[in-house]
A and B are shown apart, each in its own frame.
Chain A
Amino acid sequence: AQSVTQLDSQVPVFEEAPVELRCNYSSSVSVYLFWYVQYPNQGLQLLLKYLSGSTLVKGINGFEAEFNKSQTSFHLRKPSVHISDTAEYFCAVSVNAGGTSYGKLTFGQGTILTVHP
C-alpha cells in the first residue's frame, strides 16, 4: 500500500524568506503527486501536480515542486513567502494499484506553514 510522509508538522518562517516543505512517498508502482493548500475553515485548493514529463512542476502563487523518483520525494518550495501563505499544506499521491483506475488520493499528515512579519 502507498503512504505519504510529510517530514515537518510545523514550519515557521519570516516573510520574504524561502521555504521548503518536505514530502516523501512510498509506493511500488508509478504514482501521480499533488500538493494542496488548506486555509483556515476552508476546503483544499490544488497548488500543483506531477503526472509525467518534466520533474520540476510550477504551480499557483509562486510555488514549485520537484519530483525525485530515486529519493521518492516531492518537496514543495517557494523562493519568497508572504504572510498570506500561512496555511496548512498537504502532499498527496494517487496510485494505480490492483487494476483500479479511480482517483483515490492518499494524503500526508499536513505541514502548517506560519509566515511571521
Chain B
Amino acid sequence: DAGVTQSPTHLIKTRGQHVTLRCSPISGHKSVSWYQQVLGQGPQFIFQYYEKEERGRGNFPDRFSARQFPNYSSELNVNALLLGDSALYLCASSSGQGTLQETQYFGPGTRLLVL
C-alpha cells in the first residue's frame, strides 16, 4: 500500500508570494495533520483535520490555512511568505478520528525555501 504522499517535493518562492502544498493520506485514513519542521528543530504542529473539519490548530498566524477534501486529501496554504517560513512541511495521517493514542504516519515532506 502507498504511504502518505506529498507534492511538490521541493519548492522555491520569494517573500510575499503564496504557496499551496498538497497531501494524500494513506488509503482509508480520514485524519490529516500538518507540521512545520525548521532546520535543526523538531516538527511543530500546525493543523489537524478530520472529516473535512478543523479539529485543532497550533500557534501559527492566520497566514496559514488548510482544508480537507471529500477524498480526505488536504492542502496547506501559506500567504504572504516570509523568510522564516522556509522549512520542511510534513503531512501525517491516522486511521481513526485523529485521537491522542493513534499512530500518525508521516509523508516525506515538502521542502520550501523562501528567498
| Chain A partners chain B | yes
Q: Which residues of A contact B (CB under 8 A)?
A: 4, 32, 34, 36, 41-46, 49, 51, 90, 92, 94-96, 100-110
CB distance from B11 to the nearest CB of A (A): 15
In the complex, are the beta carbons of B42 and A102 less than 8 A apart? Answer: no
Can you name 14 extra interface pairs (CB under 8 A) apart from A105-B45, A110-B41?
Answer: A34-B103, A44-B92, A44-B106, A90-B42, A94-B101, A101-B99, A101-B100, A102-B97, A103-B31, A103-B98, A104-B33, A105-B33, A105-B35, A109-B42
State in angstroms the CA–CA spacing of A96 and B33 once bound together.
17
By the criterion CB–CB under 8 Å, are B58 and A49 in contact? no
Judging by beta carbons under 8 Å apart, are A103 and B48 in contact?
Answer: yes
B98 to chain A, nearest CB (A): 5
Chain A residues whose CB sits within 8 angstroms of the CB of B33 once the complex forms: 103-105
Query: Which residue numbers of B lie inside 8 Å of A, CB to CB?
Result: 4, 31, 33, 35, 40-45, 48, 50, 55-56, 58, 90, 92, 94, 97-109
Min Cβ gap B108→A in Å is 5
Q: How far is the CB of A13 from chain B (nearest CB, A)?
A: 21
Q: Is the interface of A mostly helix, strand, loop or mixed?
A: strand
Whether B43 pairs with A95 at a CB distance below 8 angstroms is no
- Quote the shortest CB–CB distance from A100 to chain B (angstroms): 6
Contact residues in B for A96 (Cβ distance below 8 Å)? 100
